[in-house]
């Protein structure tokens, strides 16, 4: 499958570099380029690519508002790209519905991985941002509130989500819980559907917000 991408950045050199990088991949096609958020929204609405790669700071409309509008009106998944790892951008983008958040100095292979992950319904956040995300979203909900929020999940789905929220891959979760990878994938998909979550990033946020896991915790595999 060819992954169709719209790229938006108001810095022309950065935009040209992103386009060259993406088009060097045989399964990625850049179908349009935008220099501001409003133009990006128009292009995505018209062309309906699988992915929109958006800079945060752009004229006329920033990447967060563009993300919000794209997610609300299309099935296109958004990956945010910025030179800034400031908290308000991370949380604003995720709350707007972004499926990835990368810094512009990320290795090219990480950027390509983020595009592939988003296109396949997964998500990727730059490791430094993940640590700050966890710190921000850790809460101390009451046990009753946490139990109520997670009531739709079976115990095994909670076990899987506990591992997922600590950044483990399906392979690692399978090894941790002595399950087959196909079974893990099924539990992840079922959990996302039951909780109304878009992807693994939003599952992580949900798990920490509702007390499913805390930093350093380990899943109960009994």
Residues 18, 91: one domain?
Answer: yes
pLDDT of residue 50: 95
Q: Model pTM?
A: 0.68
Condensed to tens digits (0 to 9), the pLDDT of residues 144-197 reads: 555 666 778 888 988 888 788 776 778 889 999 999 989 999 998 888 888 888
In the numeric block, the tokens 């997964």 are attached to: 122
pLDDT on residue 165: 74
**Does residue 60 lie in a domain region?**
yes
Single residue among 100, 117, 134 that ends a domain in this structure:
134
Q: Which helix (H) or strand (E) holds 31?
A: strand 28-34
Residue 202 is predicted with a pLDDT of: 75
122 and 45 together in one domain: yes
Same domain, 115 and 7: yes
> Which domain covers residue 195, as residue numbers?
139-209
Residue 22 shares a structural domain with residue 43: yes
Which pLDDT score, from 0 to 100, does residue 60 have? 87
Say if 18 falls within a structural domain.
Answer: yes
CATH of the domain at 181: 1.10.10.10
Residue 114: predicted pLDDT: 85
Q: Are residues 129 and 172 in the same domain?
A: no
Q: Please write the tens of the pLDDT for every residue from 74-118.
A: 999 999 887 766 656 777 777 788 888 888 888 888 889 889 888
Residue 123 in domain: yes
Indicate whether 155 belongs to any domain: yes
105 and 50 in a single domain? The answer is: yes
219 inside domain: no
Q: Where is the domain boundary, 134, 163, 179? A: 134
Which of 134, 157, 188 finishes a domain?
134
| pLDDT given for residue 220 in this prediction | 40
Same domain membership, residue 122 and residue 76: yes
120 assigned to some structural domain: yes
Residue 181 or residue 198, greater confidence: 181
115 and 181 in a single domain? The answer is no
CATH of residue 92's domain is 3.40.50.2300
Is the model's pLDDT at 26 over the cut of 90? yes
pLDDT tens sequence across 109-144: 888 988 988 888 776 666 556 555 555 555 454 555
Sheet of strand 124-125, all strands in order from the earlier edge strand to the far edge? 28-34, 3-8, 51-55, 77-82, 100-103, 124-125
Mean pLDDT of the chain: 81
**Total structural domains within the chain:** 2
Residues 144, 97 share a domain = no
Please check whether residue 215 lies inside any domain of the structure. Answer: no
pLDDT on residue 136: 57
Burial of 25 (0-12, 13-18, 19+ CB in 10 A): middle
86 and 161 in a common domain:
no
Specify the pLDDT at position 146. Answer: 56
Determine the distance from the C-alpha atom of residue 134 to the mean position of all C-alpha atoms in its chain, rounded to a whole number.
Answer: 14
Comparing 208 with 109, which gets the higher pLDDT? 109
Same domain, 81 and 130: yes
**Position 164 in a domain:** yes
| Structure tokens that stand for 71 in this block | 């997610």
Would you tell me how many other CB atoms lie within 10 Å of the CB of residue 122?
A: 18
Please check whether residues 114 and 143 belong to one and the same domain. Answer: no
């Amino acid at each position: 499958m060819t992954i169709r991408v719209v790229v938006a950045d108001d810095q022309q050199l950065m935009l040209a570099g992103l386009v060259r990088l993406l088009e060097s991949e045989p399964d990625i096609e850049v179908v349009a380029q935008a220099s501001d958020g409003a133009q990006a929204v128009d292009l995505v609405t018209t062309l309906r690519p699988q992915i929109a790669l958006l800079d945060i700071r752009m004229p006329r409309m920033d990447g967060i508002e563009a993300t919000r509008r794209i997610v609300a009106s299309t099935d296109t998944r958004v990956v945010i790209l910025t030179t800034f790892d400031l908290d308000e951008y991370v949380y604003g983008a995720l709350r707007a519905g972004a499926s990835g958040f990368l810094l512009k100095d990320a290795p090219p292979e990480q950027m390509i991985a983020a595009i592939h992950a988003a296109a396949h319904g997964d998500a990727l956040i730059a490791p430094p941002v993940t640590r700050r995300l966890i710190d921000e979203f850790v809460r101390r909900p009451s046990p009753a509130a946490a139990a109520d929020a997670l009531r739709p999940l079976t115990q095994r789905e909670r076990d899987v989500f506990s591992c997922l929220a600590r950044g483990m891959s399906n392979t690692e979760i399978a090894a941790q819980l002595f399950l087959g990878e196909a079974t893990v994938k099924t539990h992840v998909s079922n959990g996302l559907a039951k909780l109304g979550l878009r992807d693994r990033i939003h599952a992580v946020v949900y798990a920490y917000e509702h007390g499913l896991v805390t930093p350093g915790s380990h899943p109960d595999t009994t």
